[in-house]
Amino acid sequence: MIKSLLIPLISLLLFGGLLQAMDGDLPQSSYRLKSRTLKQSTCVQGKKAKLCYTKKIDLIDSAILKPSLRRIVEGFNAYYLSGYNEDKPRELLADVDPDDLIGAPEWIQQTSLEFYDYVAGIVTLEAYLYGYTGGAHPNSSVELRLFREKDGKELKLADLIGPGREKAFAKVAEKYFRIKAGLLPDEPLEDYGWIAEGFVIPENLAVTEKGLLALYSPYEARAYVYGYSVWTIPYYALRPLTAPNAALIPLTRPIHLQPPKVHRKITLGENDADELILDLEQKGKQVEVKATFTPSRDYRQLRLTFGFPQPLAPSKYPIHVLERSGFEKVRFIPKGTPIHTPKKRKKIAAPYPILQAESSSSSSYEPLELHFSFEPAVENEYYCLNYHLIGQKEGKIRELGGDDPMGQDPLGFELYRICIDLPKL
């Protein structure tokens, strides 16, 4: 790929890590081109404070690109450069009364352009827009634009999958948004900060090796506090709805299809010093789960709990423990079984099947491992596991939770969830 992208003699000028991830979500590209920065600034002085306004744009330096890509990048630069040149800081500050300023923060408008990805003859370019001109908080957004290398045409959704297929695409895109967000099929989007009316087809898409990346900027579909929403739609999910002559067809062929795997690393406990690693992998009709907990301190009565809120295959024992280390006891609790919940301090009927692994004590930095498999019912298009971890310290039961719980589970603990796709490959 690198050889087709660059002039061979200077291809080594590219290095990894294009884009800093936002909220740890937006994957970094394998490309990084040099940038060319333009900047203009002006200030107004009041009796008590000074307000400065700075405009800045980082353009992509296309010098090392081959001609077909250079033309695309230069056109992209020109589009955003025209907006940069339109409004001058001095003109925008003309209506500001300097004497009204009291400790005013600096105003800024910044545009950063990046070469995001290049896959199957499709170029993805990215613009990060950031601005603050007063108010409660700054605003930012990302614009992803796709171009076909052979003729420089900008590609829209209809070019990627074929015209008239938007409804089918929306259904698939929503499914994978739910998988990323940890939402069950019947849970309302509003439970995840949704502010739009119904599911919104994302305008920002990127063609990557792993799949079609989709992105919402703040306020686009969810509340500002949720920041950016980024998820990936695998190409195998787009194969049934993509037209034979559409741009994504080469990427939906079986050679690109791999069974789903999910990896999550969670920091827990005080000062985020404990670590829980979850690995899920589809293997035929089964899903295998490997959980590894590494405590940073000694705990007593450690308990790792998994809940199965969606239907399992009709079997007396749909869950099989394959291996365990450090956990002295593992038990399966069928739905409806009376169980004691230390959080609610009472017995309730298990709301769904539960798997619990327990250790009477744990030593710092000695990993505890649980490896099990389960068989989801065939009607599940994807499957989500609820999980939580508790331990006793200084005589008190403590939840070893991570960031951003989804709410409270039926057992009274903070709700965390991990989901895996179940395609019929």
Supply the pLDDT for residue 332: 95
Q: Which of 373, 363, 287, 353 is nearest to 326 (CA)?
A: 363
For the chain, helix (H) and strand (E) counts, in that order, are 6, 22
Distance CA 55, CA 34 (A): 20
Per the listing, tokens 């920065």 go with: 37
Which helix (DSSP H) or strand (DSSP E) does residue 169 occupy?
helix 166-181
Supply the pLDDT for residue 123: 97
Supply the pLDDT for residue 11: 31
Supply the pLDDT for residue 296: 87
* Domain layout of the chain by residue ranges: 24-155, 158-256, 261-421
Provide block-wise average pLDDT over 10 residues at a time, the chain (425 residues): 36 30 55 89 80 92 94 96 80 73 77 95 96 82 96 97 96 96 92 84 94 91 84 94 95 75 86 89 95 90 95 91 96 93 82 95 88 97 96 77 82 92 86
In the structure encoding, which two tokens stand for residue 99, read together? 């004497």
Supply the pLDDT for residue 393: 74
Burial (CB count <10 Å: 0-12, 13-18, 19+), residue 143: middle
Q: Give buried/exposed letters for 81-116 (b at 16+ CB in 10 A, else e).
A: beebeeeebeeebeebebeebeebeebbbbbbbbbb
Supply the pLDDT for residue 73: 97
Q: Look at the pTM and tell me if it is higher than 0.85.
A: yes
In the structure encoding, which two tokens stand for residue 60, read together? 């992509």
- Count CB atoms within 10 A of the CB of residue 419: 21
**Paired sense of beta strands 382-393 and 416-421, if any:** antiparallel
- Residue 142 near residue 204 (C-beta atoms within 8 A): yes
In the structure encoding, which two tokens stand for residue 295, read together? 């405590």
- Please check whether the two domains, 158-256 and 261-421, share a CATH topology: no
- Count CB atoms within 10 A of the CB of residue 368: 22
Q: Which of 226, 165, 174 is nearest to 195 (CA)?
A: 226
Q: Which of 145, 171, 175, 174 is nearest to 160 (CA)?
A: 145
Q: Give buried/exposed letters for 48-75 (b at 16+ CB in 10 A, else e).
A: eeebbbebbbbbbebebbeebbebbbee
Residue range 24-155 forms a domain whose CATH class is alpha beta
- Count CB atoms within 10 A of the CB of residue 20: 11
- Count CB atoms within 10 A of the CB of residue 28: 13
For the chain, first and last CA: distance in Å?
A: 27
Q: Which of 155, 153, 156, 105 is nearest to 131 (CA)?
A: 105
Name the CA dihedral angle for 188, 192, 193, 199, rounded to a multiple of 10 degrees.
-50
In the structure encoding, which two tokens stand for residue 184, read together? 């069950």
**What architecture is the 158-256 domain classified under in CATH?**
Alpha-Beta Complex (3.90)
Per the listing, tokens 């559409």 go with: 246
- Count CB atoms within 10 A of the CB of residue 154: 14
Give me the CATH code for the 261-421 domain, please: 2.60.40.1170
Supply the pLDDT for residue 329: 95
Q: Which of 407, 376, 416 is nearest to 188 (CA)?
A: 407
Supply the pLDDT for residue 353: 96
